[in-house]
Amino acid sequence: MTMENYIRAIAGAFILGSLALGHLVSPYFYLFTAFVGLNLLQSAFTGLCPMENILEKVFKIPRQ
C-alpha cells in the first residue's frame, strides 16, 4: 500500500469510529469527526499532513 492509501484508510476509520462513538457515547465525539474532516481539507490545499509525518517516523513508511 502507498502512503496515500494508508492515510485514507486511517482517516476513514477515524471518521466511522468517531461517528459511532458520537451516537453511542456522547455527541462531543462529533467534534473529533469535524477535526479529521478539517485536517483532510487543509491537507488538500497545503500538502501538510500530520498523519503522514507520524506514519513516516513511527512505521518507516516511505513517501512517494
For the range 35-42, what are the long-range contacts, defined as Cβ-Cβ under 8 Å and sequence gap of 24 or more? Answer: 36/11, 40/11
Planar angle of CA 23, 43, 5, nearest 5 degrees: 75
Q: Which domain holds residue 9?
A: 3-58
Domain count, the chain: 1
Q: Is residue 19 one of the residues assigned to a domain?
A: yes
Helix H or strand E encompassing 7: helix 3-24
pLDDT digits (tens, 9 = 90+) for 18-60: 999 999 999 999 999 999 999 999 999 998 888 888 888 888 7
Residue 64 has pLDDT above 70, yes or no: no
Q: Is residue 63 one of the residues assigned to a domain?
A: no
Cell of 43: 491537507
Q: The whole model's pTM is what? A: 0.82
